[in-house]
Amino acid sequence: MSCLIVQSDKTLLLEADHERAAECRRAIAPFAELERAPEHVHTYRITPLALWNARAAGHDAEQVIDALITFSRFPVPHSLLVDITETMDRYGRLRLEQHPTHGLVLRSLDQAVLEEVVRSRTIAPMLGQRLSTAPGHSDEAGNGAGSDDSDSDSDSDTVVVHPSERGNLKQALLTLGWPAEDLAGYVDGEAHPIELDTRDWELRPYQRAAAESSYAGGSGVVVLPCGAGKTVVGAATMALAKSTTLILVTSTVAVHQWRDELLARTSLTEDEIGEYSGTRKEIRPVTIATYQVLSAKRNGSHPHLELFDARDWGLIVYDEVHLLPAPIFRRTAQLQARRRLGLTATLIREDGREGDVFSLIGPKRYDVPWRQMEEEGWIAPADCVEVRTDLTQSERRAYATAEPQDRYRFCAASATKTQLVTELASRHTAEPTLVIGTYLDQLEELATALDAPLVTGDTTVRRREQLFAEFRSGAIHTLVVSKVANFSVDLPQARVAIQVSGSFGSRQEEAQRLGRLLRPKENGHTARFYAVVARDTQDQDYAAHRQRFLAEQGYAYRIVDATDVLAGHEL
């Protein structure tokens, strides 16, 4: 009996306990996105973006169809097979190439597709001269100014593209449903010697595979769980590229963590690594810059984006690539001639702009499910517990009469959570514990109740790094942190997290917060992740949405009542 049910709505149901489940999961992973992974049946979905990712990675429709037929328990719907073939066939009908005379060009293997594209109001301004035309068509299609039949090809049609429009064109074509295969290549950039220094550590097999996959593909995204060593993948890719590198990160703390990792794991010295942040503006062969500085506006412009042109970069690394701010997205569109590596734990963007990551950074080159990493011992197992508490009667009345825009803050920062968090923290006094929230007045109250240090956006970088160092050394066991600790904060000792409020229903934030706990623990210790939620409020509704990504990865939340916690019952 086979383990997969293939449905005409493009969903795939995988029987997780089947003896061939692991084999099937590997076969469908390149072209199907995991949606839900509860105990027994995992749901995958085939999307155009997933199929184009697969096509960009070298898989064709025949391989996809063969995998479905091989593992399907029932006959695969014929309509689905036709749709897969036609969707994948859309990728590569348009190709970006380097022309020996005209530079960057868009070449079509299907003249009808090119006719559709050059007449698009969005795309036409990005195109230049039409080098060859189909019989019966005017030379003026697109922005062309004439025909050059000497450059024509019997089965193709070609239009000049300005190099600065390479990324914008890829974005627009993806939106139109004709993703271009980018074969225009990359400039080598300025060479710079970089080697891995593995005397005291060893590159894990999946880290090596991720780096090699991204480098071989030229550009793309590596998706690995928090705690799996994405920084190491970046370092390994840099060692393959051996060129000047620009690294974009989320905060100054992340700048320092990347610098420390590169100094510990590569041949780079302090003089070769520059920091480009709010306090320093150093440009060196390897420069680590913050998104915030590059996104900063002055007189209506983004002056620091000139950093992209400051050197002949051979590689650009985007840490937490799913967070790319719009100004960086726009500027990245002009950097298509540089090798690009995106690193993230999840490609989820609440604004739905995952397609921008595909077109501007590159296709997904490597991905491993969180649970698979846990089973292999690379990340810690986690127990997720949602603790539901009731608002008091006075709080209920105040919540009911609050303005709609204020209701979430009111219930998420309810004072009833303070006693509950104090009780939960008291159960883990000997374990490194993070209390995580969004609203500063709530966090200040909790820090006072717990007699614990507080880290917020107002905490100086020096003070943050001091507190993080004391937490890592065991000098302090409890740390209250705002959302500044969501990303790129290395606290491998953390075993417990208590989440009291969040950024509305952000799935990506939930994943990052659990990720603070997933570094492997001594003796296989299980991490504990508590989410404290106000019952029958927007807090509960948003919590359900926030948990979706983790549920998709196979994490199940146990729900317990606050009265059981306060009564001292075992959880």
Determine what percent of the chain is predicted with pLDDT higher than 90: 51
Among 115, 150, 182, residue at a domain's last position: 182
Domain boundary among 327, 349, 368: 368
Do residues 74 and 114 both lie within one domain?
Answer: no
Which is nearest to 9 in space by CA: 63, 49, 46?
46
Name residue 519's amino acid.
R
Domain span holding position 83: 4-90
CA atoms within 13 A on the CB side of 194: 27
Q: Are residues 349 and 234 in the same domain?
A: yes
Distances (CA, A) of 144 to 111, 465, 540: 15, 57, 57
Closest CA to 518 of 481, 544, 558, 555: 555
Same domain for 153 and 233? no
| Residue appearing with tokens 């309509």 | 79
Same domain assignment for residues 161 and 229: no
- Give the containing element (helix H, strand E) for 287: strand 286-290
Q: What is the pLDDT of residues 202-250, one digit of tens each?
A: 999 999 999 999 999 889 999 998 888 999 999 999 999 999 999 999 8
Instruction: Give the C-alpha separation, 392 to 535, whole Å.
Output: 11
509 with 382, same domain: the answer is yes
Tell whether 548 and 519 lie within a shared domain.
Answer: yes
- Clarify whether residues 256 and 143 are in a common domain: no
Residue 380 counted as domain residue: yes
Q: How many CB atoms lie within 10 A of CB 488?
A: 21
Q: Is the pTM of this model over 0.85?
A: no
Residue 514 lies in a domain: yes
- Evaluate if residue 340 carries a pLDDT over 90: yes
- Average per-residue pLDDT in the chain? 87
* Matching residue, tokens 């997290």: 497
Same domain flag for 214 and 300: yes
Comparing 521 with 498, which gets the higher pLDDT? Answer: 498
- Indicate whether 541 belongs to any domain: yes
Total domains in the chain come to 4
Identify whether residues 18 and 117 lie together within a single domain.
Answer: no
Query: Could you identify the residue written with the tokens 């609050």?
Result: 402
**DSSP characters over 383-444:** EEEEEEEPPPHHHHHHHHHS-HHHHHHHHHT-THHHHHHHHHHHTTTTS-EEEE-S-HHHHH
Q: Tell me what the mean pLDDT of segment 5-15 comes to.
A: 95
Q: In what order do the strands lie in the sheet with 103-108?
A: 127-130, 157-161, 103-108, 94-99, 181-182
Tell me how far apart the alpha carbons of residues 388 and 571 are, in angstroms, rounded to a whole number: 13
Residue 490 and residue 402 share a domain = yes
Tell which residue, 431, 374, 120, has the closest CA to residue 225: 374
The answer for residues whose C-beta is within 8 angstroms of residue 72's C-beta and 6 or more apart is 2, 4, 5, 6
Query: Residue-wise over 438-469: b if at least 16 C-beta within 10 A, else e?
Result: bbeebbebbbeebebbbbbeebeeeebeebbe
Cα 254 from Cα 278, distance rounded (Å): 13
**In this structure, are residues 170 and 91 in contact, taking their beta carbons and an 8 Å threshold?**
no
CA distance 312 to 399: 56
**Which residue has 């020096």 as its token pair?**
462
User: What distance in Å separates the CA atoms of residue 116 and residue 205, rounded to the nearest whole number?
Assistant: 45
- Reading the block at residue 11, the tokens are 């969903």
pLDDT score for 487: 65
Q: What is the pLDDT of residue 342?
A: 94
Average pLDDT over residues 353-382: 85
Would you say 4 and 24 are in contact if contact means Cβ atoms under 8 Å apart? yes
pLDDT tens digits, residue range 497-507?
999 988 766 77
The residue among 504 and 442 whose pLDDT is bigger is 442
Give the separation between CA 122 and CA 114, rounded to whole angstroms: 14
Are 357 and 476 in a shared domain? no
CATH assignment at residue 318: 3.40.50.300
> Would you call 471 helix, strand, or coil by DSSP?
helix
The pLDDT score that the predictor gives to residue 132 is 62
Give the residue-averaged pLDDT of 528-552.
Answer: 87
Is the same domain home to 51 and 98? no
Which residue stretches of 72-149 are H helix?
Answer: 78-90, 111-118
Q: What is the pLDDT of residue 488?
A: 58
Q: Which of 327, 350, 368 is the last residue of a domain?
A: 368
Residue 68 lies in a domain: yes
Structure tokens at 98: 């380097």
Task: Give Cα 75 to chain centroid, integer Å.
Answer: 35
Task: Answer yes or no: are the C-beta atoms of 187 and 337 closer than 8 Å.
Answer: yes
C-alpha to C-alpha distance for 98 and 110, rounded to whole angstroms: 19
pLDDT of residue 147: 38
Q: What is the pLDDT of residue 35?
A: 77
